[in-house]
Structure 1
Amino acid sequence: MRGTITDLLAANAGHAREFGDRFDDVQEAQHPDAVTVCCSDSRVLQDHVWGNDRPGRLFTCGNIGNRVVQESDAGPVVSGDVLYPLAHTGTEVAVVVGHTGCGAVTATYEALTDGIDEPAGIEHSVSLLTDFLEPGVETLPDGLDRAAAVNHLVEYNVDRQVEFLLESEDVPDDVTAVGVVYDFQDVYTERRGEVHVVNVDGDRDVASLREENSEVADRIRRLWAY
């Protein structure tokens, strides 16, 4: 067996020793506080971002581009893995987690500007973002370099995913949808690994969000007010 697998199994043995008694209350059912929709990126430790070490606390979904959308015979719908906890476990908070330097957003930006040549599976995933991001690409501020353009579009993508949740008839009305960006590139501050709130239930205005959420005002900021 490859050494990587051996190392993973050794690490899991430590996990099992530490976590063995933490499943007592969730063996038969789960009622997570939030569903998080993260990007599939090795640099984004999806539960560890929140300091989570409690089984049952978070329902964690991951995919290319932190998408809440999937294609169906009926057209675009909220992805089943995101919708399940909102519909069946009493979860009332959905958090869309973008991140700086996102490869999926970069690929979508390139697809909309220069075109890409990727395997069919990757092209399909990117295609699920193109309709969301195309208006953003067309309205980017002038003078941005490629990295800055991508990070502006990271916010824009988070906004569009939150919007899709809010507009879906499948999502219960009492669900709060929050958009955040995880920064490990010193884009928002020099505190690498910090999560920054950019959108709450469709509100993108930093001033009003800070006023309404004063206890976390220092964690609310945006690159792009459009």
Structure 2
Amino acid sequence: MHREFIELLEANADHAETHQSQFDDVQESQEPDVVTVCCSDSRVLQDHMWGNDEPGRIFTCGNIGNRVVQRTDAGEVVSGDVLYPVAHTGTETVVVVGHTGCGAVTATYDDLTEGVSEPDGISHCLELLKPHLEPGVELLPDDIDRTDAINRLVEYNVDRQVEFLTASDDVPESVDVVGVVYDFQDVYSGNRGEVHVINVDGETDADALRDEYPDLESRIERQWEY
């Protein structure tokens, strides 16, 4: 048995001791306030970025590229992972969480510009991202460096996922959809690990967002106004 897993079990014992009573109200059902759609990345601390340690508060989804899109025989639909809490637990806020230096966005960018070879499972995920990112790749300046290109496309991807949610008939208009970027690479002004708001219900203009949400002014920031 790998020592790393043994250490996880030891840490879980502390977790279980701390949370004994915190499951009392959520053992039979859940009514999370928010569903977050995060990228599956070891550097993205999905609950900890919000300071959350409360069972039942946040319904967390994760996949490479923080996708909300699922492909079915009927075409592209909102992923059931995201739609479930909205449809069945009364959740009225969806937060799409991209992050700086995203590997899925990088791989999609490389596939669109050079072509890449990946195992079928990864290729499937990239194929879900490609049609949504391709217009963004075409908008990039010719002289942009690779790192800046990726981080601009991170924002573009978040915008497209938010757009897909707000356009879906399966997501009620009463549901707030927020797009953010989690920064651990000093791309945005602020501290490493901060979340920066870039999109609210499809509005991407940073100045307009600051005017509408003055309490969030210091956390609203974009790298790319395309």
* TM class by smaller structure: over 0.9
The CA deviation at 1:190 is: 4.4
Identify the residue that residue 84 of structure 2 maps to in structure 1.
84
Q: TM-score scaled to structure 2, two decimals?
A: 0.99
What is the CA–CA distance in structure 1 between the aligned matches of 2:205 and 2:95, rounded to whole Å? 18
Q: Indicate if the aligned counterparts of 1:105 and 1:150 stay in contact, CA closer than 8 A.
A: yes
String of CA shifts for 1:81-115, please: whole Å, max 9, x gaps: 10000111110000000000000000000000000
Identify the residue that residue 201 of structure 2 maps to in structure 1.
201
Identify the residue that residue 30 of structure 1 maps to in structure 2.
30
Q: Indicate if the aligned counterparts of 1:104 and 1:126 stay in contact, CA closer than 8 A.
A: yes
Q: Indicate if the aligned counterparts of 1:98 and 1:158 stay in contact, CA closer than 8 A.
A: yes
What is the CA–CA distance in structure 1 between the aligned matches of 2:213 and 2:141, rounded to whole Å? 28
What residue identity is the alignment partner of 1:24? D
Unaligned runs of 5+ in 1: none
1:117-156 pair list within 5 angstroms: 117-156=117-156
1:65 aligns with 2:43: no
What residue identity is the alignment partner of 1:172? P
The CA deviation at 1:142 is: 3.3
- Secondary structure in structure 2 of the residue aligned to 1:155: helix
What residue identity is the alignment partner of 2:95? V
The CA deviation at 1:141 is: 2.4
What is the CA–CA distance in structure 2 between the aligned matches of 1:190 and 1:157, rounded to whole Å? 22
String of CA shifts for 1:102-140, please: whole Å, max 9, x gaps: 000000000000000111111111111000000000011
What is the CA–CA distance in structure 2 between the aligned matches of 1:162 and 1:190, rounded to whole Å? 24
Identity %: 68
1:166 aligns with 2:170: no
Identify the residue that residue 103 of structure 1 maps to in structure 2.
103
String of CA shifts for 1:44-81, please: whole Å, max 9, x gaps: 01000100011110000000100001111111110001
Runs of 4+ in 1 over 3 A off after TM superposition: none
String of CA shifts for 1:194-215, please: whole Å, max 9, x gaps: 0000000000011110011011
Q: Indicate if the aligned counterparts of 1:87 and 1:172 stay in contact, CA closer than 8 A.
A: no
Q: TM-score scaled to structure 1, two decimals?
A: 0.99
Identify the residue that residue 9 of structure 2 maps to in structure 1.
9
The CA deviation at 1:189 is: 1.7
